[in-house]
Amino acid sequence: MDKIQFFITDDLSIGLYSEKDKDIFHSKTGALKEAFDKFIIPSGLVNYVDSQKSVKILDICTGIGYNLKSALTCLENRNAQIDCIEIEKDYIMLIPFIFDKINNFDLKVNILDKILKTGIDFNILYECVNSYIYKNDIYFFDPSMINFMHFIKNSAYDLCYQALNCSNLHNIYYNYISNNNINSQNINKYNDININFFFDDARKIVIGLNEYYDIIFLDAFSPQKNPVLWTINFLSLIKSKMNFDSILVSYSKSTPFRSALKELGFFIGKTYVDGVDMGTVASLNKRKIKNPLISFDLELIKTRSGIVYRDPDLSDIPSQIIKRREIEQKFSSRISHTAFLKKITE
């Protein structure tokens, strides 16, 4: 419970910092802004929306769900599947309740419905969310959703019972909004969206997925801190879940990550935010890449800093993966990063 801290980001959406992982979940410039700038816009999701095509998304490292919720804001009344992988169940339970600046009650109720359908007991979720509220500032949470949670708990116990039995939470929601005289119709705009949650190490989950995804979000902690989801072996596994036109999107622009993508045969592009290189997109289809890596990036990949992280059995802990790369770097005949930078400025 004490392992995460909440903070207000520059766009006023709430971000998290993990004490345990010593890493931020979200950019200080805006948790919601980051989701759109680095994931939703570069993924080309809007093209699927415009063309009315159904879309399958894999959200690796869902956390408190900014990428998931931002994607859903584009997918009202659309046909889609979003599979979400997150190792910490608590974070998933917080998704509908965080103050994220997404003013879409319907969207959040649908996520809550899907969370309860994974078999999580409503009372456990209630205890979990309350324990975070108790230890943190109430302004970090979405007041409408907190009220709705109390409504389920206190005044609609029999309806809540239905929810626990996996009937549609939407009925409770409709009852709630009617009671609160909110002018709304009983139309579920997310009826055709299938959201699935998987709670485990993404390495174990992705192996078992029998799908090809159009869009994959990779939002793991930074490679230097925790490389387990940035190894060439894990990226190869991700590749096996992509078709020719699929796109992999990440906030990371780390050299070993881009180097692994290159070695795996991807075409790689940069994500520019306000003119600055702030992330990576990769696809097997060259035409999907708008801003390809420039020669500087490609040369950088050939240096020692481009030596990839490896995890041959997809089971090593971060320190083993980091050590393995350090040894490979030590014995490599490649030019060092520093020597490379010196050479190009001469």
Kindly list the residues in this chain that would bind ligand SAM in the complex (CB under 6 A).
25, 61-67, 85-88, 91, 201-202, 219-221, 228-229
Amino acid (one-letter) located at 290: K
Q: How far is the CB of 75 from ligand SAM (least distance, A)?
A: 16
With CA atoms as reference, report the closest residue to 149 among 165, 166, 135, 163: 163
With CA atoms as reference, report the closest residue to 84 among 190, 168, 200, 186: 200
Q: How far is the CB of 324 from ligand SAM (least distance, A)?
A: 17
CB-nearest residue to ligand SAM: 63
Q: How far is the CB of 45 from ligand SAM (least distance, A)?
A: 15
Give the strand pairing for 242-250 and 193-198: unpaired
Residue 200 or 211: the one with the smaller Cβ distance to ligand SAM is 200
Contacts of 287 (CB under 8 A, 6+ apart): none
- Beta-ladder partners of 197: 84
Angstrom distance (rounded) from CA 65 to CA 84? 9
Q: How far is the CB of 112 from ligand SAM (least distance, A)?
A: 16
Direct distance between the N- and C-terminal alpha carbons of the chain, in angstroms, rounded to an integer: 52
Q: How far is the CB of 221 from ligand SAM (least distance, A)?
A: 5
Q: How far is the CB of 303 from ligand SAM (least distance, A)?
A: 27
Residue 76 or 201: the one with the smaller Cβ distance to ligand SAM is 201
* SS3 category, 217: strand
Residue 44 or 65: the one with the smaller Cβ distance to ligand SAM is 65
Residue 188 or 280: the one with the smaller Cβ distance to ligand SAM is 280
With CA atoms as reference, report the closest residue to 45 among 14, 91, 76: 76
Please give the sequence-ordered ranges of beta strands (E in DSSP) within the chain, or none if there are none.
4-8, 14-18, 23-24, 55-60, 80-85, 193-198, 213-218, 242-250, 267-273, 276-283
Angstrom distance (rounded) from CA 256 to CA 277? 16
- Is residue 74 within 8 Å of 46, Cβ to Cβ? yes
Q: How far is the CB of 108 from ligand SAM (least distance, A)?
A: 14
Other residues' Cβ atoms within 10 Å of the Cβ of residue 200: 12
Q: How far is the CB of 34 from ligand SAM (least distance, A)?
A: 8
Contacts of 82 (CB under 8 A, 6+ apart): 56, 57, 58, 59, 68, 71, 72, 193, 194, 195, 196
Residue 151 or 213: the one with the smaller Cβ distance to ligand SAM is 213
Residue 315 or 338: the one with the smaller Cβ distance to ligand SAM is 315
**Phi-psi domain of 90 (left: phi exceeds 0; alpha: psi -120 through 50; beta: other):** alpha
Q: How far is the CB of 55 from ligand SAM (least distance, A)?
A: 18
What would the two tokens of residue 83 be? 């599979």
Residue with tokens 């990226």: 235
Reading across the β-sheet that carries 4-8, which strands appear in turn? 4-8, 14-18, 23-24
